[in-house]
Amino acid sequence: MSDNSQLLSEMNDRTREVFRRVVQGYLDSGDPVGSRTLTRTMSEKVSAATVRNVMSDLEFMGLLGSPHTSAGRIPTQQGLRMFVDGLLEVNELETNDRQRIDETMGRNSGDVGGLLDRVGAALSGVTQGASLVLAPKHEAAIKHIEFVPLAADRALVVLVFSDGHVENRVFNPPLGATPSSMREAANFLNALAEGKTLTELGTTIRREIDSRRQEIDVLARQLVDSGLAVWEGQGESYERLIVRGRSN
């Protein structure tokens, strides 16, 4: 028997009801639930002091907590887990709802993004609430990166992985980006990406940016020290380096 199951089995009916109503009240409002509120909804007539004693016992068990002095109680992570495992009542899916979910699997199964969109929409329709669908991060090595301009403010990045998986993502390129600059960016990233996963590539790019920034800072300092350049607005948001011209 798990720890949660043992705790649940040791509770009497009153303790279970107080715990269930605190969790449900918190999930409905997001606010701590007080003893006086519970006395108005309990199935048996009990005093606020009795409810407070039960809530104190539940807090001692690690199932409830108090955000600050004199506040009501909220469920802890352990309490929420026990509520889901032991007290949450889940009805069987109706035939129409099950059919709606099954239909999401039948169209364009190779399009993972589209499949996840359909699954999320079906779950929202069945539960009448928000749905969150998470896909595992693809951690195969990157084979190729390509940028495809779509409009002045939109572009598509195509990621090809070594295992044959392909992902397409739309993004907003920097202002003034041109097809040629995107090709140069893709060439630069492809040179860094060989044999790396997305996570590893992100680390490499951050390291590369820091290194290039240090090189630029050193070069700018050398130009200023030699009298070939001067800082304008140093320390301000519009700070810039002006390189002075020289006559022949």
Which token pair is 195? Answer: 């044999």
Question: Nearest-CA neighbor of 105 among 119, 126, 95?
Answer: 119
Over 80: is that where the pLDDT of 159 sits? yes
For residues 212-235, give the mean pLDDT.
68
Which has the higher per-residue pLDDT, 188 or 90? Answer: 188
Local structure of 181: helix, strand or coil: helix
133 lies in some domain:
no
**pLDDT bucket at 241, cuts 50 / 70 / 90:** low
75 lies in some domain:
yes
**pLDDT bucket at 42, cuts 50 / 70 / 90:** confident
How many structural domains are present in the chain? Answer: 4
Residue 247 has a pLDDT of: 44
Residue 248 has a pLDDT of: 42
Question: Nearest-CA neighbor of 197 among 168, 159, 170, 155?
Answer: 159
Examine the domain organization and report whether 202 and 181 are in the same domain.
Answer: no
Residue 189 has a pLDDT of: 87
pLDDT one-digit tens code per residue, 11-22:
888 888 898 889
pLDDT one-digit tens code per residue, 164-222:
888 888 888 888 888 888 888 889 888 888 888 888 888 888 888 887 777 777 776 77
Lowest-confidence range among 39-43, 113-117, 171-175?
113-117
Question: Nearest-CA neighbor of 204 among 212, 192, 215, 195?
Answer: 192
Examine the domain organization and report whether 231 and 210 are in the same domain.
Answer: yes
Residue 69 has a pLDDT of: 61
224 lies in some domain:
yes
For residues 3-13, give the mean pLDDT.
70
132 lies in some domain:
no
Examine the domain organization and report whether 202 and 246 are in the same domain.
Answer: yes
For residues 54-64, give the mean pLDDT.
89
12 lies in some domain:
yes
Examine the domain organization and report whether 13 and 28 are in the same domain.
Answer: yes
- The CATH number of residue 186's host domain is 3.30.390.60
Cα(64)–Cα(79) distance, integer angstroms: 6
Examine the domain organization and report whether 203 and 186 are in the same domain.
Answer: no
Examine the domain organization and report whether 192 and 206 are in the same domain.
Answer: no
42 lies in some domain:
yes
**In a 10 Å sphere around its CB, with 0-12 CB exposed, 13-18 middle and 19+ buried, how is residue 174 labelled?**
exposed
**pLDDT bucket at 93, cuts 50 / 70 / 90:** low
Average pLDDT, the chain: 76
For residues 214-243, give the mean pLDDT.
66
Examine the domain organization and report whether 68 and 113 are in the same domain.
Answer: no
Q: Which amino acid is at 114?
A: G
Examine the domain organization and report whether 81 and 15 are in the same domain.
Answer: yes
Examine the domain organization and report whether 50 and 74 are in the same domain.
Answer: yes
> Is-contact 193 201, C-beta < 8 A?
yes
Lowest-confidence range among 54-63, 122-131, 177-186?
122-131
Residue 196 has a pLDDT of: 85
**pLDDT bucket at 115, cuts 50 / 70 / 90:** low
211 lies in some domain:
yes
Over 50: is that where the pLDDT of 1 sits? no
Examine the domain organization and report whether 122 and 60 are in the same domain.
Answer: no
Neighbouring residues of 192: CB distance < 8 A, sequence distance ≥ 6: 201, 204, 205, 208
> Is-contact 199 139, C-beta < 8 A?
yes
Over 50: is that where the pLDDT of 74 sits? yes
Q: Which domain holds residue 186?
A: 139-196
Examine the domain organization and report whether 43 and 63 are in the same domain.
Answer: yes
- The CATH number of residue 45's host domain is 1.10.10.10
Which has the higher per-residue pLDDT, 247 or 80? Answer: 80
Helices and strands (H, E) in the chain, number of each type: 9, 7
For residues 55-71, give the mean pLDDT.
82
Residue 175 has a pLDDT of: 83
Cα(105)–Cα(133) distance, integer angstroms: 14
Examine the domain organization and report whether 189 and 202 are in the same domain.
Answer: no
Neighbouring residues of 146: CB distance < 8 A, sequence distance ≥ 6: 157, 158, 160, 186
